[in-house]
Every structure is written in C-alpha cells, then in structure tokens.
C-alpha cells in the first residue's frame, strides 16, 4: 500500500456517521413528544400551557433532528428541553399570576430574568441572593 492510499483511506468517525446515518425526523429522539405536557402537569390546568409550549418547541426540535449533530448530542438537547418544560410548568404553579399571561409572554419574562448578570462572589464570601 502506498503512502497516498493510506492517507486517503482514512475517514473520521464523524464523517462516516454523517454520511451513513439517515435522519428520520423527531421520532427517534422524541418518541413521546405529545405526552410531555402530561408528564409535566401537576394539575389538569397545566396541560394547556404544556401543549402550547410543545407547539413553540417543535420547530426547534425538528431543526435539531435535521442538523449534523450526533444522535447523542440531539438526545442530550431533547432531554434538556424536556427538563426545561417541567421547570416552566413548575414556575406556573409557584406563581399563579403567570398563568394569566400567554405562554410566549411568560417565556420573554423568563428570558429577561436570565439575561441579568449575577453578582460575582468575592473570595472567602458567600454569594448573596438578590
């Protein structure tokens, strides 16, 4: 075997996986996507906001499934979104005033709250919660 053929014969695992694994949409990653709102709900009134949240997340999930990310990375992101949805519903239960607003508006409020920089604790001191 010549030097050139040895170099060109190599392919990385990522390249092989990207070219041989067909994408099948959301089904391999979100087998029970329509059941997520029921898994999040504590009360029957949590079902409607959960279903609305799924409608908002579905385009992003479809984008993830169609991306060149590995199946493991997509599953990790899907799992994180499932956990995030559960936290969203829990926050609705903890603050009933949010339930009166549309889901999109509550998400924007959460986004603004997340973007605020947290105080950086100094060495030897514990962080104060503001």
pLDDT at 106: 83
Tens-place pLDDT, residues 115-126: 555 555 656 555
Label residue 86 exposed, middle or buried (CB < 10 Å: 0-12, 13-18, 19+): middle
Instruction: Give the pTM.
Output: 0.64
Residue 11 is given by DSSP the state: -
Residue 128 is given by DSSP the state: P
Contacts of residue 36, Cβ cutoff 8 Å, sequence gap at least 6: 30, 50, 54, 82, 85
CA separation for the pair 127, 130 (Å, rounded) = 9
pLDDT at 19: 44
pLDDT at 9: 54
pLDDT less than 70: residues of the chain: 1-24, 109-130
Nearest alpha-carbon partner for 54 in 81, 24, 25: 81
């Amino acid at each position: 075997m010549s030097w050139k053929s040895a170099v060109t014969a190599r392919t990385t695992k990522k390249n092989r996986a990207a070219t041989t694994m067909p994408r099948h949409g959301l089904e391999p990653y979100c087998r029970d996507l329509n059941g997520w709102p029921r898994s999040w709900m504590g009360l029957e009134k949590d079902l409607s906001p959960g279903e609305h949240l799924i409608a908002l997340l579905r385009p992003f999930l479809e984008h993830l499934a169609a991306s060149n990310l590995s199946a493991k990375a997509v599953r990790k992101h899907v799992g994180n979104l499932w956990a995030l949805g559960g936290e969203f519903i829990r926050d609705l239960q903890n603050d009933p005033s949010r339930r009166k607003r549309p889901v999109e508006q509550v998400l924007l409020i959460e986004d603004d709250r997340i973007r605020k920089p947290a105080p950086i604790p100094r060495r030897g001191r514990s962080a104060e919660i503001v």
